[in-house]
Structure 1
């Protein structure tokens, strides 16, 4: 037996329809990872699954749904798992493992390739940065209109029908399809989704700009998430996750996760007391 502590749950689960039906019937289960999977694992090793006596209503539901007629394809897969597994839940007889029970839980350990868990804004940006390495397609789509006087890093992606203007710098970023980037814009470590318009002189760093958003002229955006179809006002505005004690209703309190924030006007900006 080998016990490992270096594995990370990718939160990708393949469930048989009977298990999905069981989950739908049991509204009290709120977490697949924390409640459903441990429950199924316990039942997999429980003799009560194969005993005619079932104690609780949940067991009855699971037993009933798990005993749905299994197709010939299911039988082939079950036989394959039995042949490739050396595990047995009992000793002293020649009975098959699990005593014929049909409930199984398996885990796939990824030995090669890339499997990346995206559960934070930074991880999402990093996953998009690594994505080009997995494909042979060109980083810049052939239909994109790119000015010869702009700088695009080798680790950036430019989508279809994009327009990139003069004196623009794009590094370690992804620009979605049909987006427009005007002159003198700097985009670093950011994700720009499709249909976004970025006006002249903007600076975007470590942020995600969702579809069809409009970033006004001269806006400075750092480590933020801008929602779909939102409009950021023109120059003189500051857009950041840093909390302001004066405008606490506009910016989040300390230690709170970033969200879609409003933009301060120049008058408000001059009165800010950043913490």
Structure 2
């Protein structure tokens, strides 16, 4: 089992926190200009409409957010190695989740949270992405500006490299969201925390795994974190309580970080590690900056970040930074309370932000070295947050969406499929049944926790429970599918049972087959027999 490690220290030196009475300036962003594509392709043919300036529609939560205040970068260029073999022939963002493309969920999430400018970053090898982005543009043309940016795999595979490559499109504070996130977290609460912290350099979202939030840690990371003698691999952080009363200059200051959501707890991040720690060594200088620091490994990084605009300039000056999580964020966290005059790579805006200068001049409690700030929004309670980055997670997310667990992603109710014949299922047959005999079993039984596409060709004695069935599928007689995902254009013979499995598109399943806990790649033919705990896929063909 995964164990939690917590250490708390309380040195006498008070924490250098922010004064409580200063509100962020909403007009401090640089003037936006028309984006110019200098690398990659712009798949957007749309222009901002009048409705984009009018604010969110009635389905979007009310917010005081300026539409141009935040841009969102949706990172969709990952290879999806954790979803192999499903992602071998289908780009990860296009994998069907409850018969919708995976990337459509974070786009819907962002639009419903009032985001007006979304940039989808992908790579050339991801076939079908341009068409998918065009469909999203058409669906949300009256609510949000959606653009696609295609990059070369060789240069821009890592997250920080991808953000650096599209820097000419970024003109405001920006939000980073992965394309595989499924969540009902109120993003506006996170944005409000970012604002209230006098323009935080970075605000990240973390889940408190001890408070019932859904765990997003991959199985590989969990396995590493359980190595003997090691602490957590990915999420070892030190947090301070920014909501407490502190003593500075003989006066008591109450520092409030307001959030309308009871599930979000703002914290200042004093330490952030993304590597295995055999032992932790911190010098006296660390404790001279921070007090009441709590070290813990129970917080899981959701990979949703809000960065100040000047971070783009920092990435340009530091081309060796390739990863946001493993390199950029630890670097920013470590530079808090540093002498930025000696930091040549730090952009001028990080040193001379207008809010900071005004605050420094108006408050005797302001620490002039507190230019860079990193904060975390700790998510507690029953909030659904899931990264669809593993096979197990993919199967679970399909099941939860079909079940209706995440209300904002309600699936469309399709007309129940009809069998090829009327035998046993029509009203005429029921009238002909002799009295006293049990009614015949319905030819097609579909459970309530299913998402089934229309237009299927079905035989008789079909049972579906807790499953997602894609379009264009054909099934013979006596087919049972339980807790599984069957993608588009799958052909299934007679007397077939599929449970706890994922069947990719264009798979053929012969008659008299039993499949249990298997992952089947696109285009594979499953021959007669029993299969359990297997990965079935076509061998690659090489042309000499």
Scaled by the length of structure 2, the TM-score of the pair is 0.34
Moved more, 11-20 or 213-222: 11-20
Q: Deviations over 1:164-212 (max 9, x none)?
A: 4321121221112343333211212211223333233222222112233
Q: Indicate the residue corresponding to 2:217 in structure 1.
A: none
Q: Deviations over 1:55-77 (max 9, x none)?
A: xxxx51xx23865998x9xx7xx
Q: Indicate the residue corresponding to 1:231 in structure 2.
A: 524
Q: Indicate the residue corresponding to 1:36 in structure 2.
A: 328
Rounded Cα–Cα distance in structure 2 between residues aligned with 1:222 and 1:172: 15
1:28-107 alignment, distance < 5 Å: 28-43=320-335, 45-49=336-340, 51=341, 53-54=342-343, 60=345, 63-64=346-347, 94=364, 96=366, 99=369, 101=371, 103-107=372-376
Secondary structure of 2:379's counterpart equals coil
Deviation at 1:161, TM superposition (A): 3.3
Rounded Cα–Cα distance in structure 2 between residues aligned with 1:237 and 1:21: 59
Aligned pairs, number: 219
Q: Whose strand proportion is higher, 1 or 2?
A: 2
Tell me which of 366, 374, 392 is aligned to 1:122: 392
Q: CA contact under 8 A between 2:339 and 2:369: conserved in structure 1? A: no
Q: Indicate the residue corresponding to 2:383 in structure 1.
A: 113
> Which protein, 1 or 2, shows the higher relative CO under an 8 Å CA cutoff with sep ≥ 6?
2
Deviation at 1:227, TM superposition (A): 2.0
Q: CA contact under 8 A between 1:159 and 1:176: conserved in structure 2? A: yes
Q: Compared with structure 1, are the counterparts of its residues 138 and 130 closer, same or farther at alpha carbon in structure 2 (3 Å cutoff)?
A: closer
Tell me which of 279, 285, 299 is aligned to 1:7: 299
Q: Compared with structure 1, are the counterparts of its residues 95 and 172 closer, same or farther at alpha carbon in structure 2 (3 Å cutoff)?
A: same
Rounded Cα–Cα distance in structure 2 between residues aligned with 1:137 and 1:31: 30
Structure 2 unaligned segments of length 5 or more: list them.
1-239, 242-293, 420-441, 540-544
Q: Indicate the residue corresponding to 2:108 in structure 1.
A: none
Matched, 1:205 2:496: no
Q: Indicate the residue corresponding to 1:241 in structure 2.
A: 533
Q: CA contact under 8 A between 1:176 and 1:195: conserved in structure 2? A: yes
Deviation at 1:118, TM superposition (A): 3.6
Q: Deviations over 1:1-43 (max 9, x none)?
A: 4546533222333445654565577564454333322112112
Q: Compared with structure 1, are the counterparts of its residues 5 and 136 closer, same or farther at alpha carbon in structure 2 (3 Å cutoff)?
A: closer
Q: Compared with structure 1, are the counterparts of its residues 149 and 124 closer, same or farther at alpha carbon in structure 2 (3 Å cutoff)?
A: same
Deviation at 1:115, TM superposition (A): 1.1
1:107-256 alignment, distance < 5 Å: 107-111=376-380, 112-131=382-401, 132-135=404-407, 141-147=413-419, 148-228=442-522, 230-234=523-527, 236-241=528-533
Q: CA contact under 8 A between 2:313 and 2:347: conserved in structure 1? A: no
Structure 1 unaligned segments of length 5 or more: list them.
83-92, 243-258, 264-275
Q: Compared with structure 1, are the counterparts of its residues 15 and 221 closer, same or farther at alpha carbon in structure 2 (3 Å cutoff)?
A: farther
Q: Compared with structure 1, are the counterparts of its residues 185 and 68 closer, same or farther at alpha carbon in structure 2 (3 Å cutoff)?
A: farther
Scaled by the length of structure 1, the TM-score of the pair is 0.62
